[in-house]
Amino acid sequence: MKKVLIIGCGDIGFRLAQHLNPDAYQITGIRRHCPPDTSKIRYQSCDAQDLSALKKTLKEGFNIIVITMTPAERSDAGYEQAYVHTCRNLISALTDAKHQPELVIFVSSTAVYAQDDGSWVDESSPAEPLNFSGKRLLEAEAIIRNSGFPNALVRFSGIYGPGRTRLIEQVKQKRASASSAYTNRIHAEDCAGFLAHLINRRESLAPVYIATDSAPVPMVEVVSWIAEQLGIGDFLSPEATNERGNKKLSNALMLASGYTLRYETWQKGYTEMLNET
């Protein structure tokens, strides 16, 4: 069995474990505050900011390591701690470890792309972020990319799914945005499914993947569709904060890897969510 370590094992980490064959993978999830173990995950309490604690965890030896962190706060310091410090500690700990991983996957974000002209963006497009979140993610990516360990970077677009109902709530509260800028989405299940897909075919990976669904769309179309499904007529607010960026993300490389999206369009995913509320 291959040993998998998920650092910052929250919702995506939990979902990832459900996609991996328990006969082929033994999964350990680390986080500061652990829920009870499940049939798929053995949790360990470990703060990735504590280098000595991380070194102790890595003594077990892991074949695959997945870094999927969530910042404690949306600030430059929060992103630096969650992403940059975690990656720096991990590589430092691995350098001293007896067992070396076959693959390190870093879960990043398409926030590293600053394009705002509605153009298509793929893995070859310039990543020149203007905001702190993109800059810190790019800094963390560089640590993993230049570590000397086999690695892959996965840049997710806007994640939605159970527990991620921000747009639905904005419509219900009549605070939705009328922005015509393009937005890009991926369901949490496809986040986990694609990570599992990469782990299963880890011998031949591209350095970077954009992970998103097949339907970039203006924001106003998304919230208008949600409002129509809910039967809400007045849902837009002139004070609504528009999302940064205006780009159409290409998932061509993701699909070329052999992955099949469970939720190819945002309508399919939101329909399921609305039916469950």
The CA distance from 68 to 90, in Å, is: 13
Quote the pLDDT of residue 13.
96
Token pair for 225 = 């569709």
Task: Please report whether residue 200 resides in a domain.
Answer: yes
Q: 29 - beta bridge partners? A: 6, 43
Amino acid occupying residue 140: A
The CA distances from residue 210 to 16, 32, 197, 214, 254, in Å, are 17, 29, 14, 11, 7
Rg for the chain, CA atoms, rounded: 19
Quote the pLDDT of residue 166.
93
Nearest-5° Cα angle at 179, 176 to 181: 135
Quote the pLDDT of residue 185.
97
Is the C-alpha dihedral spanning 152, 158, 160, 164 positive or negative?
positive
Task: Please report whether residue 175 resides in a domain.
Answer: no
- Residue 242 backbone dihedrals phi, psi, to 5 degrees: -75, 150
Quote the pLDDT of residue 242.
64
Q: What is the pTM of this model?
A: 0.96
pLDDT, averaged in runs of 10, over the chain (277 residues): 96 96 96 83 93 95 97 95 97 92 97 96 97 97 97 97 94 93 97 98 94 97 96 88 83 98 97 90
> Half-sphere exposure of residue 125, counting CA atoms within 13 Å on the CB side?
23
Task: Please report whether residue 242 resides in a domain.
Answer: no
Quote the pLDDT of residue 96.
86
The CA distance from 133 to 139, in Å, is: 10
Task: Please report whether residue 29 resides in a domain.
Answer: yes
The CA distance from 37 to 26, in Å, is: 13
- CATH number reported for the structural domain that contains residue 258 in this entry: 3.40.50.720
Task: Please report whether residue 259 resides in a domain.
Answer: yes
Confirm if 32 and 82 have CB atoms less than 8 A apart.
no
Nearest-5° Cα angle at 156, 151 to 160: 145
Percent helix, percent strand, percent coil in the chain, to nearest 5:
35, 20, 40
* Count of domains for the chain: 1
The CA distance from 70 to 88, in Å, is: 16
Boundaries of domain holding 117: 2-164+185-216+249-267
Task: Please report whether residue 277 resides in a domain.
Answer: no
Number of Cβ atoms within 10 Å of the Cβ of 3: 16
Quote the pLDDT of residue 71.
93
Alpha-helical runs (H) found in the chain: 11-19, 51-58, 76-79, 86-96, 132-145, 166-172, 188-200, 219-230, 252-256, 266-276
Task: Please report whether residue 20 resides in a domain.
Answer: yes
> Half-sphere exposure of residue 115, counting CA atoms within 13 Å on the CB side?
19
Task: Please report whether residue 223 resides in a domain.
Answer: no
